[in-house]
Structures are given as structure tokens and as C-alpha cells.
Amino acid sequence: MTAPFTPGLTPAESRQTLGRLALGVAILTLERAGEYVGVLARTCAPVSTQPPLVAVGVDRDSDWAAWLAAPETERFGVNLLGAGQRRLLDAFAGSAAGQGVPWFTHEGLPLIGGTVAQLVCRRERGLEVGDQLLFTGLIEYSRYTDDDPLIAFRGQYHELG
């Protein structure tokens, strides 16, 4: 008989350790029931340049996981926040979600203006991993600037430069 798996780190230890990895801050976007919606991605990472793929993660039990997994969701947006856009994090929290966001669309998909980069991704695969649902997206369109990004490091947001 095999002993049950016991993780080596507690969730708090994992957050503290992995929080030492500086990451860009990404807001995922799509249109849902005629409204533009966005959520802070738990994970956002490049996967491949040929073909161009990105991986994004959301809370496994969230509405966003269900929305991204829905058969009618073919594409989603990825918006990488710039150094001066910390206020946009608040725009996607609580009852005022999405208010004051500089929305624009590319081929009908909502994206956020003024970000360091915007991606339009065709959803490829979904995979349940721990407390997240990860999706890979084939990047069909990208637009970027040379502005400094907003980054997450040790549980806080920081600006480069």
C-alpha cells in the first residue's frame, strides 16, 4: 500500500517561496452576456514561440474557469499591465467591476487600452492543476509598447524604472 501524498510545503510557505519570482500582471478579458468582463490572472506565462502559445490560470472554482471552459468561448484577451496602471486592479474587484477601464475591441474581443501588451488568444486546451484551471491560448494577434510593466513580487505590486 502506498502512503498518501503529503505536500512538502504548506500553502503559506509555497506563497512565500514562489512569491520571490517576479511576474508580469495580466488581466484576462472577454465578452459575457453583452458586457466586457475582466479578471486578474493567477498565472500568465509564455509557453512556445512556434506556435505562439501562452498559458493562463484562473481559480478552479471561479465563474471565470467556467466561462473560459464554455464551448462558446473560443477566444480570450490577455492584457499585460504597465507601471502606471495599478488602479486597474481595483477596477476588476467588487461591485464596480470594469468601471473606468479604457476598453477597446479587436475583432469584437474586448481589450484594455494603454497596457504594455494586448494579446488575442484562441483557446486551445484546459487543464485542472491544483487550485487552478490552466488554459493554453494560441496567440492570433498582439500589440505592445516599450513601456515598463507592472510586476508582482513578494505579494506586492512594483513598478520598474
Strand locations in 17-108 (E)? 23-24, 26-32, 35-40, 43-49, 52-59, 75-80, 103-106
Residue 29: strand, helix, or coil: strand
Taking only the tens place, the pLDDT of each residue in 102-132 is 999 999 999 999 999 999 999 999 999 988 9
State phi, psi for 103 to the nearest 5 degrees: -70, 150
Residue 56: strand, helix, or coil: strand
Helices (H) and strands (E) in the chain, counts: 3, 12
Q: Would you kindly state where each structural domain of the chain is located, as residue ranges?
A: 17-159
What superfamily would CATH give domain 17-159? Electron Transport, Fmn-binding Protein; Chain A (2.30.110.10)
pTM of the predicted protein model: 0.89
CB 68 within 8 A of CB 132: no
Taking only the tens place, the pLDDT of each residue in 61-100 is 989 999 999 999 999 999 999 999 988 988 876 545 667 8
